[in-house]
Amino acid sequence: MKSTVEQLSPTRVRINVEVPFAELKSDFDKAYKALAQQIRLPGFRPGKAPARLLEARVGRGAVLEQVVNDALPSRYSEAVTSAGVKAIGQPEIEVTKIEDGELLEFTAEVDVRPEIELPDFSSINVEVDPIEITDEAIEEQLLSLRQRFGTLTGVDRAVEDGDFVSIDLSATVDGENVAEATASGLSHEVGSGQLIEGLDEAIIGLKAGESKDFTSTLVAGEYAGKEAVVTVTVQTVKERELPAEDDEFAQLASEFDTLEELKADLRERVARVRKVEQAGQIRDKVLEQLLETVEVPLPEAVVKAEVDAALHDAVHGLDHDEEALNKLLEEQGSSREEFDKDAQEAAERSVKTQLLLDSIADAGNVTVGQDELTERILFQAQRYGMAPEQFIQQIQQANQLGAVFADVRRGKALASVVESAGVKDTSGAVVDTAELFGSSEEKTGGGVFVPAERKKKKKQGWVGVLPKIDGVGFSFWSEGGRHWHSGPPLLRYCLCQ
């Protein structure tokens, strides 16, 4: 087989391939064998009919068509490999010549990864926010922990900010009832602002059984964007009683015996979280500067595929009805033009980022070990609340294992850039990125979820410590299948893409 490559653009090539018929013998044998299983000829057992009789039955053209269709994918892959073409996306293949018994010729146009001129990474300089740990932040964490152990108690008084209420809602627009804005028995935390605008202000001061009308602009449905008269009726009022800040609470909520020990631990946790947040800011700013300074030609077909995927995701829950999508966008105060523009910009940025980080990984000979890939899979499974084996099965069925591998490799590539970049905080202090991101061996681009080590038994459960989740340790108390975390929410590892 012979092949040549024509460079059509920085991101696209045409591969010309010539395959002598002598190299297609195995493909012909396979085609004849398949036909013999499908066609019954008198005097021959199934699968034993000779090739010449099979050709006489179906015609030489049908045999050639089958052979060519079967041969093209493997011959294309062979040509790509032998030429060292870094193909991305699906090829457009065209058979240009078939000389029966002599030669098969075809061309394949495909997008390729462009050559990218990388800068000196030490020339990259970014400025980030300093790490600040205030007493207010510690108290906020302690309050959050107390709220998790708080109890709701019914009260016979008017609603106050912070109460928990059960309410009924109804609404009218120009005297017409709005069905989608009618609900009964809704639970709501007053002051959270999670339901209708103006609701919290209207509820405060009402007692159980009392109602009040207020106006609000509807944001969805048939009357989206219109002002409605909303009626709220309070059914029940409850307040949250928080446990006292004392040693008994520390023992209940953590592995510590005193409140001071718990507060000291919360301070350490806040410090670690602030470091993770700063690391994420460094990552984002370094990547942003790379994208602004490095020229990356974009393969049109790959970008289009990303845009098409975004549209598919948007209409998937709408029975793939684009008119329904257009209507929904209008109800949300947007338009299809804005959606298409945003999708195009997001696709271009995504493709540019991937191509750039892949080039950096190639230049640095970045590799991904089995342990690193396993860590990312475990981390992603934990993020989605799935068992690792279930998550692995899903990504294998979706043929996404290669994408996970690529993400880990890109995360390591970006970490290597961060290591070389100059980083200061806004006060002018140099930030030690090695301390934030760890050694090169640790920059896997994914977190690791390590099973908890049991430390000591407390009351009816176990106090445990998660040695490292995204580089941050977390303690918890497990009782009867319930897990109380004394640390902040789990955070994405700072190099995840």
Q: Which residues of 109-136 are buried (b: 16+ CB within 10 A; e: fewer)?
A: ebbbbbebeeeebeebebebeebeeeee
Which residues touch 497 (CB under 8 Å, ≥6 apart)?
Answer: 353, 357, 407, 410, 411, 414, 445
Angle formed at CA 395 by CA 443 and CA 411, multiple of 5 degrees: 20
103 and 165 in a common domain: no
Is the CB of residue 431 less than 8 Å from the CB of residue 423? yes
Integer Cα distance of 232 and 383 in angstroms: 37
Quick check: is 93 in a domain?
Answer: yes
**Centroid of chain to Cα 209:** 45
**83 and 15 share one domain:** yes
Q: Is residue 299 part of a domain?
A: no
Average pLDDT over residues 8-23: 94
In a domain, 82, yes or no: yes
Domain region containing 163: 151-241
Dump pLDDT digits (tens) for 202-231.
Answer: 999 999 999 999 999 887 777 877 889 999
Q: How confident is the model at residue 434 (pLDDT cuts 50, 70, 90)?
A: confident
Mean pLDDT of 77-81: 94
Handedness of CA 356, 439, 424, 271 (dihedral sign): positive
The whole-number pLDDT of residue 338 equals 94
Q: What is the 3-state secondary structure (H, E, C) of 196-218?
A: CCCHHHHHCCCCCCCEEEEEEEC
Residues 6+ apart with CB under 8 A from 301: 12, 89, 90, 111
Q: Give yes or no for a contact between 440 and 416, defined as CB atoms under 8 angstroms apart.
A: yes
Q: Within 10 A of 68 (CB to CB), how many other CB atoms are there?
A: 18
Per-residue pLDDT for 270 more than 80? yes
Each residue of 293-345: pLDDT tens digit? 999 999 999 999 999 999 999 888 788 889 988 988 888 889 999 999 999 99
Q: What is the pLDDT of residues 184-198, one digit of tens each?
A: 999 999 998 888 889
Q: Structure tokens of 370?
A: 């089995």
Residue 129 lies in a domain: no
Do 82 and 172 belong together in one domain?
no
Q: What does DSSP say about strands 422-425 and 125-128: parallel, antiparallel, or unpaired?
A: parallel
Q: Cβ distance 91 to 39 under 8 Å?
A: no
Note whether residue 163 is domain-resident: yes
Q: Could you give the CA distance from residue 91 to residue 3 in angstroms, rounded to a whole number?
A: 15
Do 168 and 102 lie in a common domain?
Answer: no
Question: Among 241, 263, 292, where does a domain finish?
Answer: 241
Give the domain-ending residue among 91, 112, 133.
112
Asked if 240 and 223 count as a contact pair (C-beta separation under 8 A), the reply is: no
At 191, which CATH number? 3.10.50.40
- Is the same domain home to 12 and 61? yes
Residue 208 resides in a domain: yes
Which residue(s) pair with 485 in the sheet? 476
- 25 and 108 in a single domain? The answer is yes
Is 458 a member of any domain?
no
Residue recorded with tokens 């289009």: 304
Cα-based angle 393, 398, 400 (whole degrees, multiple of 5): 90
Assign residue 481 a region: left if phi > 0, alpha if psi is -120 to 50, beta otherwise? left
pLDDT band at 474 (very low <50, low <70, confident <90, very high): very low
Are 107 and 164 found together in one domain?
A: no
> Please, what is the average pLDDT of the chain?
83
Give the whole-angstrom CA distance, residue 422 versus residue 438: 16
**pLDDT category, 252, cuts 50, 70, 90?**
very high
pLDDT at 367: 93
The answer to whether residues 156 and 231 belong to one domain is yes
pLDDT confidence of residue 446: 38
Statement to judge: residues 198 and 108 lie in one domain: no
> In CATH, what number is assigned to the domain containing residue 49?
3.30.70.1050
Residue 283, Cβ density class (10 Å: 0-12 exposed, 13-18 middle, ≥19 buried)? buried
How many whole angstroms separate alpha carbon 199 and alpha carbon 205? Answer: 12
Q: How far apart are CA 452 and CA 303, in angstroms?
A: 43
Flag whether pLDDT at 383 surpasses 90.
no
**In terms of Cα–Cα distance, which of 206, 211, 166, 213 is closest to 185?**
166
Task: Give the Cα separation of 212 and 206 in Å (integer).
Answer: 8
| Mean pLDDT, rounded, for 246-271 | 94
Exposure string of 388-402, with b = 16+ CB inside 10 Å and e = fewer, is eeebbeebeeeeeee
Residue 70 CB partners (closer than 8 Å, separation 6+): 27, 30, 31
Percent of the chain having pLDDT more than 90? 58
Q: How far is CA 309 from the centre of its chain?
A: 14
∠ CA 6-306-118, nearest 5°, is: 60
Given a cut of 70, whether residue 168 has pLDDT beyond it is yes
Is the pLDDT at 456 greater than 80? The verdict is no
Count how many domains the chain has: 2
DSSP 49-96: --HHHHHHHH-HHHHHHHHHHHHHHHHHHHHHHHHT--EEEEEEEEEE
CA distance 169 to 212: 10
Is 155 in the same domain as 229? yes
* Residue finishing a domain among 241, 269, 298: 241
104 and 19 in a common domain: yes
Higher-pLDDT residue of 28, 421? 421
Do residues 19 and 84 both lie within one domain? Answer: yes
Give the confidence band of 366 by pLDDT, cuts at 50, 70, 90: very high
Identify the residue whose tokens are 């021959």.
44
Q: Please say whether the beta carbons of 452 and 465 come within 8 A.
A: yes
Q: What is the pLDDT of residue 357?
A: 96
Q: Is residue 96 included in any domain, yes or no?
A: yes
Is the pLDDT reported for residue 495 higher than 90? Answer: no
Identify the residue with better confidence: 364 or 219: 364
